[in-house]
Structure 1
């Protein structure tokens, strides 16, 4: 999907994960925007994933927040901003600086983040600013700072391609970072001797191309890598020269791992001892080794120790900062790294300076000419909302994030916000679970309208450029913050003409009294001027001031020759004793209300992402193509656990903990580790009746990083006793009130919806009227009273208005085929086919979508294999194009090809 730029093409950066792909956006005369990968961007070289490819489908103004509002009523900007400034100032005057807070987002640009951090820490005088990146990367930050003395990612994406061993820990790269994954797949194809080990409780699509998959028990990573450190020492794989010259503390770290022989590691991880030995031997024998990790490591109550256990192994072997060698943290959000650079977390200062260090605080105060800089760390995300709940925080500004969905114990967050005296929410969309609690709602600029910078996982700063005008009265986030700062009396420090001036100050602060003592230095990017800022090419830091700056550095990696950022310039080995790992399970009866009979349903809940959706779906949910792959929240469960709990495929299951409950569709899969279940985190109260899985998640946090353990909550799983199930497609958004279960998704030409209820339906035809406003009279209908099956279709002229399928068991209807009829004309027999729920020979059912890039379904892939036209993933790509763009569906295609081929030979 590469495309050369045209006169109207704008080079910008993708809005999704931390890969930081370059995008070519070309506005068209009809108001649409063509999206392509930027072949010159060094993160993606023209490749985009399914989400990035569909960005043009998410730019419509439907559902946008376009005007400021106060208590739900439209107001003007001056009134709204005056009110925000006044209420924050009054709260500070009455209760002190720590009575207010900002909760911001990795969706913000670096310039937005910078001014918010400056206002809170330098001028309000509190460090109560935290970010949803606390939920993603805080443990990496803490682990880096403990080991390196700074939050430094040592390596680059290129390291994954030139490594001889890549260890992927707690990361489903194939679905969550598809472009990096495809770079790795291509490298392995070029060099078949490369080895890949995937460490993950689930057999994800990433594991399908691995040479070794270790289905580790939840939170077993510390034991596995501490045991690896012990093994490296035992077999003489420690680089004694590097350790002696550049590190300290190895003896203590080895002491903490002394008892972790293979047998003990196997007991702590649930892994086969032979598999552990194979992994240890591979690691010990392979000089060029990269360990890639993400949320499965970070989102844990022992996340910081996990990071340090991994880093210890690389320090011990000297495998850091060299091509193809090092620990590599991949970030989850487009600007999680930029937020870290400007001190967007409650325990950091701007420019990677330390809030605990009095000299650093004074340096920042002098540079900002601030009255005082916050003297201690502020409240981290989970603590922050607890403080909202108990009244310590009395005014909060939430920017670009949806904590009522994404925070653990999410119902408690909603309750806290409902009681908070003053809540401000700046966002892009008008309907979110969080916005309903705002006294003041501020319309923010969206991707496509924003101008600034972001930093990706390999420290590469890229420009995000606007290519659409600001709609309605929407404004950039940096402008809102600066206007409030001005109204609070701090105007001189926030008098920026645009984001370029903010970036310039950010760059100058990074080099202020630095002289190589700090890792983050982009002083070479200061003084660019408007034209230089507008034309800034993707640039990897550090970029210190000096001759030839800015420009490419001969070495973009850190620490190959030491030079760490502790005072003695040495790295620290951090002991990670397994016995000190925080417990993640509640007391035996905490989840059960009815005693021993229900305790058999206890499982450990793991949460995460799916391939084609992003966070709380306020963007990806606008694309029918992206929703076609997975359209409702689900619970993935091992066949053995499903049988024990009398759960069948496509049943509904209630998942409950002491904190809340969710209602999810059952997906039975042997990819799931026995004793555990998996649920995606994307669904909200707007898109599903009970899909907010983080309402179930325990609010336990890592004691060092404050990051919540989103991967391990004890839950009870029971079958939901549905009396009926339904599926509907409608031309307009359906009414969902009163349904026990629903899951709503976009479709071409309208909407698709799953539903179910506990009580029998007295008048099935009336349900169609309730959902879609269609009178029950005059619709096509089919009834099977004895089987409890009812089907309806209503038309206006030749257009389908609504179709409804009801059954006592999960509805057997082709969802993609039925939804496709919303965008088609219908006459005669075509209308009656709708009641059958599947197409005839002239219009075959494509089946569930596998390839979102080209809308290729499972039935089409299977038919190609059965016919003999394609018998491999590559041949499917050539015939149907499936898997030939972003490649994130290639694992699923391989499964289908194998399954159909085996069935054909049986």
Structure 2
């Protein structure tokens, strides 16, 4: 049994790992302060993602396997020669919140202290950079003021741009528990009616980008009602200017006046208020101003740094915070020291014995890949991230990587859009195979521990970076392991503490290897002077004069505005059971059952006007790219708006790469791109042939549209094309790579449905159902037939009589579908708790509870009588 940390979101849940014959058994750690034993659907399925399938197990140079010495010598030589010929700013690192803090530390030390450039950025730029900038403007440092305990103690939780129930389910459970225990009210501010909004007491469907206008309205009400805290404002600069700017901000919020008044009344009347914000705030060309508009309201009232009150940024990645702590962003220095402060720079340089300290900010993520595209960046090392899918203007980014002179990718697999473009692929140790630390959203540092051996020649990231540094002739990179790196990082933080900075864990600087091995989670700061706790209740900040700042902000619309050519505003985001570009979650079959292909949510009235049909396919186009997505009609989005998730890649659905649609418009302060406000056009994709395929082995589609996923019995895929295959048998044999299997075909002329099976040694090896319209099938029942003997009904599109039809998946934790929940509701289970008792659905992470509640309500409410309907 090994205690470790979940590798998904920034909640930082503790897990207990036990190696078993087929992988790892995972359960929540009841002693970890972040989750107290709870896990979400993704965390619960972690053990199913461990395995050797698709793993990169040896270094590859131009696709040819080699040894570590040859690969590392080549990387060091190409970086060294590029720097010699073109200067240090001709090379760059692009890092990831999937890296451990020790790995991040080594990369930043190498680039900023020895190569002499700050061209090291991270995919956290896409996630939280506006929060970093907003915190720094207001507090003088990138400091999260509160803790998770504030969610337990708040009387009002306001969620801004955060679908907490799906994206941070364990925190959502804490909020739900607070509501049950103390009557905590929940408000959701989001243009889209998410499942979190369904469960809230109040939902404010503001116009996309109107966050500043809304919180400026709140700030004016605070001032007009005499709710400013005069004693606290004596420690704050800029209050008068911020309030004046708020009064002058006449931009519309899109929220009905009565609804906005209810929110303002509730916020003003509730001292214990926590405002939680996430990507919906950050991913904007005015993201930094949005953050400061929220902070202004808390600073004006002194509702910060005290139990149950304060602004709270929840991060999207497991170690976005740890990366920020070691200077993982191109405009930072380690330990929250300032890159452009000569005293800070000199102190870090002395500590590192640096040979060439960077003295100015480097290129931020989007600009870094633009520089790769135009030839300014000539050598690029990408670690544990997939920018060819996740960055805005993703097609241009893919072309930039493909055209770069020398690209190194470190990852656990070579099967990503980015890894396929690398000159050198380095096999990295995966989660559960490496050791180090991560920091979660409330400043808690936890150990991630190795529990199984890395396969083949896979190695930790810190080791690769250190080896390259030594081969480039740099000293100071000869650590014995992650504990030694952690001690160095902790010691450097003591220097930051002496400069009066917030990040100081120098109390751990002398920890032994044995102590590091057993180190319990702790919240920073951790020094001789202070351990853990909240910040700013005392009005002491990290600005030069130790005073806080309220920042005058004014509404700005998104960079692109809807037009006749691009009439819809596209919002992007995550879904409940998937993670980033699915390199891990796609390996867990049950996580693929909830929402199995890329889709676009459209308002029914917009879909009617555009001529797109429910469950059909739509071609979505922007000025930067296009995508083909399944159409879902939903009143969760307003007229003129659309939503599409960002998870699918060239590996799982090549026409579903949503970030190809997104322009590279940036916040001028944070450099964070506007990922939630692209403008697009939508038109029917003129497919004339649709199919669903299931097989025991991998499926290799060759059609205009396809989306594939792992299943419990192998693999499945949705297919569509402009015309039907001329020879369906030949097509199927190629699709399933079963040239010798027995071929069985059954047609249903009335439905236009062709059904065929490929049978291998008396068992079903593959099934294909196709027709001229989207195919309505009991997909889970069909998937279950793979590998089974051919029986009567094996080619039927519905579940057989002896097969209970679970229906579309609702609860991934327990595998319970819609039909079972509906049956339980019809049998008298009248609420979510009763459904949980009857079926188990909703009994674990809680992310499905709003969906269950809506389903129960629909079943429990009889349809209106014809007379009432007529009225």
TM-score, structure 2 normalization: 0.98
Q: How far 1:230 moved relative to its partner? A: 1.1
Query: Is the 8 Å Cα contact of residues 368 and 493 (structure 1) preserved in structure 2?
Result: yes
Question: Matched residue pairs, number?
Answer: 865
1:845 aligned residue: 805
Cα deviation digits, residues 505-526 of structure 1 (max 9, x gap)? 0000001263371100000011
How many Å separate the matches in 2 of 1:834 and 1:866?
30
* Matched residue SS, 2:10: coil
Q: How far 1:704 moved relative to its partner? A: 0.2
Q: Aligned ranges for residues 179-190 of structure 1 at < 5 Å?
A: 179-190=170-181
1:861 matched to 2:837:
no
Q: How far 1:172 moved relative to its partner? A: 0.3
Query: Is the 8 Å Cα contact of residues 562 and 679 (structure 2) preserved in structure 1?
Result: no
Q: How far 1:763 moved relative to its partner? A: 2.5
Query: Is the 8 Å Cα contact of residues 209 and 558 (structure 2) preserved in structure 1?
Result: no
How many Å separate the matches in 1 of 2:14 and 2:65?
37
Query: Is the 8 Å Cα contact of residues 225 and 309 (structure 1) preserved in structure 2?
Result: yes
1:740 matched to 2:704:
yes
Query: Is the 8 Å Cα contact of residues 404 and 434 (structure 1) preserved in structure 2?
Result: yes
Q: Aligned ranges for residues 498-577 of structure 1 at < 5 Å?
A: 498-512=481-495, 514-515=497-498, 517-545=500-528, 553=531, 556-577=533-554
1:238 aligned residue: 228
Check 1:90–1:406 CA distance in 2 against 1; reply closer, same or farther (3 A cut): same
* Matched residue SS, 2:248: coil
Query: Is the 8 Å Cα contact of residues 160 and 166 (structure 1) preserved in structure 2?
Result: yes
Query: Is the 8 Å Cα contact of residues 822 and 859 (structure 2) preserved in structure 1?
Result: yes
Q: How far 1:498 moved relative to its partner? A: 0.2
2:83 aligned residue: 92
Query: Is the 8 Å Cα contact of residues 210 and 557 (structure 2) preserved in structure 1?
Result: no
Q: Aligned ranges for residues 221-620 of structure 1 at < 5 Å?
A: 221-244=211-234, 246-260=235-249, 264=250, 268-490=252-474, 492-512=475-495, 514-515=497-498, 517-545=500-528, 553=531, 556-578=533-555, 581=556, 583-585=558-560, 588=563, 592=565, 602-620=567-585
1:795 aligned residue: 759
State which drifts further: 367-376 or 59-68.
367-376
State which drifts further: 66-75 or 200-209.
200-209
* Matched residue SS, 1:862: helix
1:769 aligned residue: 733
Cα deviation digits, residues 459-508 of structure 1 (max 9, x gap)? 00000000000111000000000000000011x31010000000000000
Query: Is the 8 Å Cα contact of residues 817 and 847 (structure 1) preserved in structure 2?
Result: no
Q: Aligned ranges for residues 15-54 of structure 1 at < 5 Å?
A: 15-28=7-20, 30-54=21-45
How many Å separate the matches in 2 of 1:724 and 1:587?
32
Q: How far 1:785 moved relative to its partner? A: 4.5
* Matched residue SS, 1:87: helix
Q: How far 1:587 moved relative to its partner? A: 8.2
Q: How far 1:871 moved relative to its partner? A: 2.1
Q: How far 1:788 moved relative to its partner? A: 2.8
Query: Is the 8 Å Cα contact of residues 624 and 748 (structure 1) preserved in structure 2?
Result: yes
Q: Unaligned stretches of 5+ in structure 2? A: 866-871
1:828 matched to 2:791:
yes
1:154 matched to 2:135:
no
Cα deviation digits, residues 111-164 of structure 1 (max 9, x gap)? 000000000000000000000000000000000000000000000011011111
Check 1:84–1:543 CA distance in 2 against 1; reply closer, same or farther (3 A cut): same
Cα deviation digits, residues 332-351 of structure 1 (max 9, x gap)? 00000000000000000000
Q: How far 1:841 moved relative to its partner? A: 3.2
How many Å separate the matches in 1 of 2:766 and 2:863?
38
Query: Is the 8 Å Cα contact of residues 159 and 323 (structure 1) preserved in structure 2?
Result: yes
Cα deviation digits, residues 708-751 of structure 1 (max 9, x gap)? 000000001111111011001011111113x0000000111210
Query: Is the 8 Å Cα contact of residues 765 and 776 (structure 1) preserved in structure 2?
Result: no
1:200 matched to 2:190:
yes
2:831 aligned residue: 872
State which drifts further: 771-780 or 472-481.
771-780
* Matched residue SS, 1:850: strand
Query: Is the 8 Å Cα contact of residues 291 and 326 (structure 1) preserved in structure 2?
Result: yes
Q: How far 1:257 moved relative to its partner? A: 1.2
How many Å separate the matches in 1 of 2:308 and 2:282?
23
How many Å separate the matches in 1 of 2:207 and 2:832?
31
Cα deviation digits, residues 746-780 of structure 1 (max 9, x gap)? 11121010000012332233321121123598422
* Matched residue SS, 2:453: coil
Query: Is the 8 Å Cα contact of residues 742 and 760 (structure 2) preserved in structure 1?
Result: no
2:852 aligned residue: 893
Q: How far 1:899 moved relative to its partner? A: 1.6
Q: How far 1:189 moved relative to its partner? A: 0.9
Check 1:514–1:249 CA distance in 2 against 1; reply closer, same or farther (3 A cut): same
How many Å separate the matches in 2 of 1:373 and 1:773?
55
1:806 aligned residue: 770
* Matched residue SS, 1:188: helix
* Matched residue SS, 1:383: helix
State which drifts further: 665-674 or 420-429.
665-674
2:655 aligned residue: 690
1:631 aligned residue: 596
Superposition RMSD in Å: 1.4
* Matched residue SS, 2:37: coil
Q: How far 1:644 moved relative to its partner? A: 1.2
Cα deviation digits, residues 688-725 of structure 1 (max 9, x gap)? 13011001111101000000000000001111111011
2:841 aligned residue: 882
How many Å separate the matches in 2 of 1:767 and 1:201?
44
Check 1:363–1:520 CA distance in 2 against 1; reply closer, same or farther (3 A cut): same
Cα deviation digits, residues 269-321 of structure 1 (max 9, x gap)? 21101111111111111111110000000000100000000000000000000
Residue number among 63, 81, 103 corresponding to 2:94 in the alignment: 103
How many Å separate the matches in 1 of 2:292 and 2:307?
21
Query: Is the 8 Å Cα contact of residues 139 and 298 (structure 1) preserved in structure 2?
Result: yes
Query: Is the 8 Å Cα contact of residues 604 and 676 (structure 1) preserved in structure 2?
Result: yes
How many Å separate the matches in 2 of 1:51 and 1:513?
37
Query: Is the 8 Å Cα contact of residues 781 and 803 (structure 2) preserved in structure 1?
Result: no
Cα deviation digits, residues 637-667 of structure 1 (max 9, x gap)? 1111111112222010111101100111011
How many Å separate the matches in 2 of 1:403 and 1:775?
37
Q: How far 1:828 moved relative to its partner? A: 3.2
How many Å separate the matches in 2 of 1:676 and 1:905?
30
